[in-house]
Structure 1
Amino acid sequence: MRFPQSSSPTSRRNLLLGTAAAGAMFAAGCTSNENNDSDENSKQAANTANDKPGKAVTIGFAGPQADHGWLNAINEQAKRRAKEYKDVTLEITEGSNDTAQQIGQIETLINKKVDVLVILPADGKALTQVGLKAMRAGIPVVNLDRVFASPQAYRCWIGGDNYGMGLNAGHYIGEQLKDKKNAKVIELAGIDNLELTRQRTAGFNDALKNYPNIKKVGRQAAEFTVESGQSKMAQLLQAHSDFDALWNHDDDQGVGAERAIKQAGRDDFLMVGGAGAKHAMDAIKADNTVLKATVLYPPTMAASAIDLARALGQGKGVGGLAELEIPASLTLYSAVVTKDNVDEYLPTGFS
């Protein structure tokens, strides 16, 4: 996931939701209140999002170029979810990594007077002004993952937890190695000048502090590509003949890392991936490689963004919550997928 900017878990009012819980919540029927014998509960039921057809809503969707498996999954999740609603029309742009071009695409959607916008900006800071423009035009914006520089540029933010990815990867590895004396781990990170990479590494390092028997002995930064994953992993393998675990930030670059591992004939350590690609889940299920787990950065957030946009366009809240309005911020949970639970998450795996 090549994100020029990502959210900080401490910089906004986070509501922590698991991926499955978020999807179920947004698509839930009427309300989760068990006791509906009061006027207030009836009012909440009437204002809560549900999957019954309602007011027609046109949603404009603008994202970056799908030049990565995760970004392509984002687009597919949005399209698939929109098709599930008879009352939703989706206006989707081609996607671009050129900020000026993406701004132009969003301005076209504003001029078309769509009811709601879902925007995954190529660069959150650079596209803040067009988010503000939409909000000032009375078009609510659902800011997806890469956050705008101003909270006034969006009505709701929804995205993943990069720090949580590292934290959960570190805790998983720590639990596997907690009884091993002088355990060693290495890290294959993403692009180092991206905030998301720094957050993932920070979470990983913080988790390892709970395991004094474990020492991180090596780290290389790749570029979220198969080629970079292979070359950087080969360097790590050459530099470290003995280690017990590897955390790789991204399953796409993990394809290259696995090639390097196979070429080196190494199987003396466990590997944890990141994001939740289908090929990684298939390997975890087969249990015949060093890859034993992956930490999710769920592309299902795009489907949930469509749910939120629909609710905004219809003036409804969210099933499962007592509030009449949708939250200002939703941070999705980075679940660890292992052989024990992989069947549950396989449907969310992306190619």
Structure 2
Amino acid sequence: MSENVARRGFLVGGAVLLTAGCTSNEPAAAPSSSAPVPAPAASGNDEPGEKVTIGFSAPAADHGWIAAIAKNAEATAKQYSDVEFKPVEPTNDINQQISAVESLIAAKVNVLVILPNDGQQLNQVALQASEAGIPVVNLDRVFPDKLAYRTWVGGDNYGMGVAAGHYIGTQLKDKGVSKPVIVEIQGIATLPLTQDRSRGFADALKKYGFSVTAQQDAQFTVETGNEVATSLLQAHKKIDAMWNQDDDQGVGVLAAIKEAGRDEFIMVGGAGSLNAMKEIQSGSSVLKATVTYSPTMASSAIKLARLIAQGKGMSDLVEKQVPQSITLASETITKENVEQYLELGFES
């Protein structure tokens, strides 16, 4: 079964991801389903400048979070009259993505924004771009060679794990639970971002004297999330806490939990989808919190790419150049604060 079919089987309503600020500290308008990205705040950097072409490559948008990445990138590029946005066909095939990036290099775009399917495997083509004089803004999944990119922008994967671990640790300690059974459902286990999330989770749990009992990856898909959760529920007759690293695959995870009739544990999600937030808001779900990983990092990447291509720095910083690395913070959404996050979402 394809992921799209799986999503139709399990998902009620669209996924919603959170918004974040970009290169200015001016307040941003809340997005809606038709306009997910806030308009650029008024600043000298937002005034029309030298015309630049921004090449863009990302995986196929068959996942709610990835779909939001593509939408945010395109919408932000359209806000600037001095930007020509040149996306290539999104793909989950490594070789096809390499070929697509090579086509952008051959087209001599001014700057590239790349979210690689796998940073290790696309590292060489990013190096080719850099060596050709085309700066690369590396989005989310990082290239291992720093010479392959000019600037990296992404979420705090380690921080996601830390936030989830602290929430679970605090909840279990407050309940007086000792030697808890804690299960973790990862995304794609081979990706450094997944490994960082797991490491942060484990490190935070250590502060409470806890550790992960069982860990399994679910490939960021609804179908596999359902299969993995079913397997873990069958293997552990009693669970105290579960961390699911991705709210999109969490649709399948929650379906499995409901099918099994299990409610003895607390669950934390990851990313901040509307589906997850509504579960949290209901107060009747095992899902008690989710930790954010905002896809509006794509909006920031486009803004940064434009500035780099035009030889500008960020207006709120003293330095004259865009920083080499920008990490977004991960926030914890619970029933107590979910109301303020709901309006920041957009349908994917």
Q: Does 1:84 align with 2:79?
A: yes
The equivalent residue for 2:95 is 100
Q: Does 1:133 align with 2:128?
A: yes
Q: Does 1:194 align with 2:191?
A: yes
How far residue 262 of structure 1 moved from its aligned partner, in angstroms, is 0.8
Distance 1:239 1:309 in 2: 48
How far residue 86 of structure 1 moved from its aligned partner, in angstroms, is 2.1
Distance 2:289 2:23 in 1: 23
Instruction: Give the partner amino acid of 2:160.
Output: M
Instruction: Give the partner amino acid of 1:335.
Output: E
Q: Does 1:149 align with 2:175?
A: no
The equivalent residue for 2:13 is none
The equivalent residue for 2:321 is 325
The equivalent residue for 1:315 is 311
Paired residues in the alignment total: 315
Cα-to-partner distance string for 1:73-129 (whole Å, 9 max, x where unaligned): 111110111122222220111112223322222222222222211111222222223
Q: Does 1:221 align with 2:221?
A: no
Cα-to-partner distance string for 1:268-313 (whole Å, 9 max, x where unaligned): 2221001222211222233331111111121111110001011112
In structure 2, runs of 5+ residues without a counterpart are 1-17, 27-39
Instruction: Give the partner amino acid of 2:240.
Output: D
Structure 2 contact 307–314 (Cα < 8 Å) conserved: yes
Quick one: structure 1 residues 175 and 21, their matched pair in 2 at CA, closer, same or farther if it must change by over 3 Å? farther
Question: What is the alpha-carbon root mean square deviation over aligned residues?
Answer: 2.2
Quick one: structure 1 residues 83 and 282, their matched pair in 2 at CA, closer, same or farther if it must change by over 3 Å? farther
Structure 1 contact 69–350 (Cα < 8 Å) conserved: no
In structure 1, runs of 5+ residues without a counterpart are 1-17, 31-48
**Displaced runs of 4 or more, over 6 A:** none
How far residue 215 of structure 1 moved from its aligned partner, in angstroms, is 5.1
Quick one: structure 1 residues 189 and 102, their matched pair in 2 at CA, closer, same or farther if it must change by over 3 Å? closer
TM-score (structure 2 length as normaliser): 0.83
- Correspondence for 2:63 among 64, 68, 72: 68
Instruction: Give the partner amino acid of 1:159.
Output: G
How far residue 24 of structure 1 moved from its aligned partner, in angstroms, is 4.2
The equivalent residue for 1:203 is 200
Structure 1 contact 277–350 (Cα < 8 Å) conserved: no
How far residue 342 of structure 1 moved from its aligned partner, in angstroms, is 2.5
The equivalent residue for 2:300 is 304
TM-score (structure 1 length as normaliser): 0.82
Distance 2:215 2:124 in 1: 37
- Correspondence for 2:273 among 270, 277, 284: 277
Cα-to-partner distance string for 1:170-223 (whole Å, 9 max, x where unaligned): 0111222222223422222233333333222211111011113x4543333322
Instruction: Give the partner amino acid of 1:140.
Output: P
- Correspondence for 1:342 among 338, 342, 346: 338
Structure 1 contact 61–118 (Cα < 8 Å) conserved: yes
Q: Secondary structure at the match of 1:292?
A: strand
The equivalent residue for 1:50 is 45
The equivalent residue for 1:174 is 169
